[in-house]
Chain A
């Protein structure tokens, strides 16, 4: 017979011993629980990307599991926008996956708020990394992310689209005026059948590069804005005379084509963006060949370019499997066979071991060659952007889009963006 008192005592003892046991479990080793080949531990890994990346990631995971029989990896992926909403809810509930693919924009949001594991406390080999690259994954001396690969800004163009218009291929040493003239030429000669490009002033990172060309950092080290309203007005006025002409694709077309890019949809002759989008653009547009040249600059010696980690690997601060997580991250960033699987689809491998172990051919070689060609112009990667940067980047794009719709003037757009940015910085400080 179970009477009330008996029942309560049993429950109390049970709970107490469970608590004691789990305390032992946590305390017994600093590297967390480990598995064995007979009883492997399972870690969760999540990433954003398309089907192509999912296929490559599955291959990499299978390889990892065959080399590490004591660890199983449970993979899961979504698209980029949904990715961050999911992570936010998981973090609020305390259930972030053990290992995650990460973006620089969100490193501070989570790192500074103690959601990510300090990877300096576990064993990950970073000897093969450029020393200038690692700080982009660090905040206040703690390493929250290890870059998998690098990317740099570039101007894409399709030579097959320029030839019939009788326009010479650009060599990539151009001022903003020359670049604008080029866009106008495409729009005029094609009579609007092909637009010059997308309005590049709507791209946050291009603005960041332009600021650096003018020796301005976008953010100060104490998390404030490093540029003035006048800087932003000057920037948005750069393409002022191009908006509404065939040099720039109208905004309603951009909206219609989304989520595909105008360049990937063959609506424009150029695109200014990260060089690791190559594979995606080739797939979307069906073009035979795409080429990369450096971004415009009014100072030919200072292109403002830098290598940014195209993505980072991070671990949850609450993971129970620190050791397994560290081994998986180490494998993903350093193993040459992983490089062979991903090629440049994540960007150019950041670890020299992985880079040297990968054979690059065709378009992959183009991306690697491009990053080599700009080597002499490269500056240090910027520090992880401020908390809430993801929001700022999105509102930059949105407000620039309103500008192209003619809903805002340059002055109005500048005021609107500064208001949102200042409000956000105040919120998070």
Chain B
């Protein structure tokens, strides 16, 4: 960096140092790509390749045994007449719209509690993060199924307070709250990011606000929220994309069927059933691509709207 002013002052025609630098940059790049190679090969062979072939398959009728038959856009048009598909869209959108904000609210609330100086914060941080470490696992889904089943701990706990809902697992109107609780409980990952963001907010701001007589609510909306907005944006984006992909817990809790009465037929679960139970790989591929496109559009919308509420430090706003 210190050299660059001298370099730029040299006339371009003198030649020799510039090409050398170029050459060196070339070797650097080559070395860089060489180190990247294992990852790149994996990415191309395991991600890009299958994606391209699934794009092709989405325009075909493919049952795994016989060669794919080209049928154009048929899969995409049939999708919108398929009641089970529309149901799966409804279930997934409900889950994303209610689950994600609640999860982020829980994460932010806990992060703010853990941000204050108190004895044993290190322990609490680990304790609150733990559910997220094990949360995505198969065993937790099995435990939740037992907890929310007939005469499980949740049922018994609620009947102690005189609320008799019975088991949640078999009740079509209670399965969605159960899944939302499961995701809210796994707030650890966004919480850690929020916590890091909160630590970046200069303490002087709060001090100054206190002197001016601002209460905690005021401080939250005028300091914490705007200062934290890039982190909130990041978490919102990641968690939304994540929520669209829910599969494992739904598969286990509903025995891979999406029941009861289709109330847990999440998008990816239906995609899986279409592909691997009904052998309709073309149809499943079309569903997969539709999901990619929709999530892409939602991400784009998030980025567009972010300008009005996300403040980066150094911004004039």
Chains A and B form a bound pair = yes
CB distance from B19 to the nearest CB of A (A): 32
B17 an interface residue at 8 Å Cβ cutoff? no
Task: Identify the closest chain B residue to A397 (Cβ).
Answer: B257
**Is B170's CB under 8 angstroms from A391's CB?**
no
Residue pair B171, A252 in contact (C-beta under 8 Å): yes
Q: Which A residue's beta carbon lies closest to that of B155?
A: A256
The docked-state distance in angstroms from the alpha carbon of A407 to that of B278 is 24
Give the complex CA separation of A253 and B169 in angstroms. 9
Q: Is A227 an interface residue (CB 8 A)?
A: no
- Decide if A193 is an interface residue (CB 8 Å cutoff): no
Q: Tell whether, in the assembled complex, residue A401 and residue B276 are in contact, meaning their CB atoms are under 8 Å apart.
A: no
Interface residues of A in 395-411 (CB under 8 A from B): 398, 401-402, 405, 407
Interface centre among A85, A255, A390, A407 (most CB of B within 10 A): A255
- Check A92 for interface membership: any CB of B closer than 8 A: yes
Of the candidates B83, B166, B255, B260, the one having the most CB atoms from chain A within 10 angstroms of its own CB is B260
From 240 to 268 in chain B, residues with beta carbon under 8 angstroms from any chain A beta carbon are: 255-257, 259-262
Instruction: Assess whether B226 is interfacial by the CB under 8 Å rule.
Output: no
In the complex, A16→B155 CA distance in Å? 69
The answer to whether B262 and A84 have CB atoms under 8 Å apart is: no
A253 to B150, CA, bound (A): 8
Are the C-beta atoms of A405 and B66 separated by less than 8 Å?
no
Central interface residue in A256, A258, A259, A407, by most chain B CB within 10 Å: A256
Write the nearest CB–CB distance from A428 to chain B, whole angstroms: 8
- How far in angstroms is the closest Cβ of chain B from A408? 9
Give CA–CA (A255, B279) in the complex, Å: 26
Asked whether any CB of chain B lies closer than 8 Å to the CB of A75, the reply is no
Q: Is B35 an interface residue (CB 8 A)?
A: no
B169 x A407 contact (CB < 8 A):
no
Give CA–CA (A256, B150) in the complex, Å: 7
Could you tell me the dominant secondary structure of chain B's interface residues? Answer: loop
Task: Give the shortest distance, in Å, between A402 (CB) and chain B (any CB).
Answer: 5
Decide yes or no whether A88 CB sits under 8 A from chain B: yes
A115 touches B65 (CB 8 A): yes
Task: Determine the interface band of chain B, counting residues with CB < 8 A from chain A.
Answer: 20 to 34
Q: For the complex, is B61 an interface residue (Cβ under 8 Å from A)?
A: yes
Measured between beta carbons, the chain B residues less than 8 angstroms from A88 are: 64, 276, 279
Output the least CB separation between B285 and chain A (Å).
Answer: 13
- From B83, B149, B262, B277, A394 is in contact (CB under 8 Å) with B277
Interface membership of B280, Cβ < 8 A:
yes
Q: A88-B279, A255-B169 are in contact. Are A401 and B261 (CB under 8 A)?
A: yes
Q: Roughly how many angstroms separate A81 CA and B276 CA in the complex, as a whole number? A: 11
Tell me whether A388 is interfacial, beta carbon within 8 Å: yes
Residue of A nearest to B280 (CB): A427
Docked complex Cα distance between A91 and B63 (Å): 11
Nearest chain A residue, comparing its CB with the CB of B254: A255
B172 CB-CB contact with A under 8 Å: yes
Nearest neighbor of A251 in chain B, beta-carbon distance: B260
CB-based contact B277/A391 at 8 Å: yes
A427 B61 Cβ-Cβ under 8 A: yes
Contacts of B256 in A (CB 8 A): 81
Question: Contacts of A402 on B, CB cut-off 8 Å?
Answer: 261-262
Please tell me if B99 contacts chain A, counting CB pairs below 8 Å: no
Interface residue? A109 (CB, 8 A): yes
B35 → chain A closest CB, angstroms: 27
Within A83-110, the residues touching B (CB, 8 Å) are 84-85, 88-89, 91-92, 109-110
Chain B residue at minimal CB-CB distance from A114: B65
A→B interface (CB under 8 Å): 81, 84-85, 88-89, 91-92, 109-110, 113-115, 251-256, 258-259, 388, 390-391, 394, 398, 401-402, 405, 407, 416, 424, 427-428
Top 8 nearest A-B pairs by Cβ distance?
A252-B170, A255-B170, A113-B65, A92-B64, A256-B170, A405-B261, A85-B276, A255-B260
